[in-house]
Homo-oligomer: A and B are copies of this chain.
Amino acid sequence: MTARDERAGRVFHALADATRREVVSRLAQAPATATELAGSLPVSRQAVAKHLQALDAAGLVARSRVGRAVQYELNPTVFDEAMAWMAETGTRWDERLRRLQARAVSPSGAPRSRRDR
**Chain A contact residues, CB within 8 Å of chain B:** 1-5, 8-9, 12-13, 15-16, 18, 21, 24-25, 28, 74, 76-77, 79-80, 82-97, 99-101, 103-104, 107-108, 111-112, 116-117
Q: Please name the 8 residue pairs, one residue from A and one from B, whose CB atoms are nearest each other, closest first.
A: A76-B90, A13-B16, A12-B15, A16-B16, A12-B16, A79-B86, A79-B90, A93-B104
Residues B93 and A25 in contact, CB atoms below 8 Å apart: no
15 of the cross-chain contacts (CB-CB < 8 Å) are A2-B116, A9-B21, A12-B13, A12-B15, A15-B86, A24-B89, A25-B89, A76-B91, A79-B90, A80-B100, A84-B103, A93-B104, A94-B107, A97-B97, A97-B104
